[in-house]
Structure 1
Amino acid sequence: MAFRVFKGCCLLKNVVNNYATSLRFNGLHVSVIHRDLMEFFDDKKNWAVEHVKVGRAWSKDELRIKSNEDLHKLWFVLLKERNMLLTMEEECKSQFELFPNPERIDKVELSMANLETVVRERNKAYYDLEIGENGERPGEMVTNLLGLNFFYRKFEHLIPQFLNRKWREKHTFNRVNGNIEKFQKFYREKIHNEKRKARNRDKNHVMHLMKRYPNLDMEAVKQQFPSVDIEKIKDYKKARGHFAP
């Protein structure tokens, strides 16, 4: 057994030496920096600071001009950055300290969402060009037991649908469970109230802006708040500032 282990170690050593030699002659650097669990933490110079200088999120136009290899590398960089930020956020909570610039998490997640959108666009264009179908997972609109419609994305299963008893028990589509008219009435009322409250919040916010900033750009306000009737609320007393409507 000792001879076998020694022989195996010698063979492994020769393989590693040959691989390293080939990489060295090819001009590649294979050394890796190992920082153990410190990879999940921010740089020490950013600890216990109130503000960290950061940039903005990656936009879709910037990501569209990059190659697939660059997008692949950038995805793992953003994934590592998000894990680090989430770890630092939990550590600051446990230590009762202020987490500097929490908007960094939102910027990283926005960048990842934009990157995924760009990759999906390329994938869809490739499949449309090659086979005439998009590469998205197929799906259909179905109805649950409460009579609510939603889009269900299909999955591949080893067992056919008519033989898969567990799947049929879990996915009860297009079968209404008893009298649901009362539930749907309350649900529609809830959705209506949420939309009405959102419109009122936008209207009050616009009136506050008009009162505080008399020289406000109304065209920009209309683009940002399309549900608010600007011409109507100009006559409101809450919207009147130091100007004549």
Structure 2
Amino acid sequence: MDCVDLYYLHRIPGDDGLKSWMEAAKKLVAEGKCKYLGLSEATPAQIRAAHAIHPLTAVQQEWSLLIRNLEADVVPTCRDLGIAVVAYSPLCRGFTSALVKAPEDWAKIGNEGGAATGFQSGCPHLSGDNVSTNAQLLAPLEKKAAELGVTPAQLSLAWLHAQGADIFPIPGTTKVANLESNVGAAKLSQDVPKDIFDAISREVDHTKMQGDRYAEGMMGSCYEKK
């Protein structure tokens, strides 16, 4: 293609590396090779430093009902600068579907049960004894979804959509039915009263989640460990 619409730096190679990348990417925008720039897994300070070199359009960060540390610093920084937040893994890699209560249940997720041997198996919060412990945190979500006649996956995704018009969840799936469900979640976010989403925010206690979101060797590139 002649032009990339949104060009991301997905991991930040230090502050000097960020400065170098932003200056190079700024030239690509000027040359018409890309339209907009974004970062992923950047600290608030890195977001501000990059934005000063060239305006950022989006910051991509993991965000779901159980992964919410960015709400304290990354989201306010982006809103202060007018940058959209692209929420990756908005269903916590399938975990907020509430279909997974034990490690063996990952075989219910993914293409032909591929999640059983997929990336989830290497994530501390989604493997081993942490699976059953963290699954219990979703009980309020399951209860409210049953009351509304929707799935926990739909309600958890709708909750994220409802966090603001500047939030763009990017759920992934290999199944048409899940795609249709995800599209329905966007509409659900408009139909469900705000007080219900506020209650879910309070009742699903993400602070009690056990385990890091990445394996030890990868956590060093995550913004909260910088």
Higher-Rg member (1/2) = 1
**What is the TM-score normalised by the length of structure 2?**
0.21
User: Could you state the TM-score of these two structures normalised by the residue count of structure 1?
Assistant: 0.20
Higher relative contact order structure (alpha carbons within 8 Å, sequence separation ≥ 6): 2
Higher strand share: 2
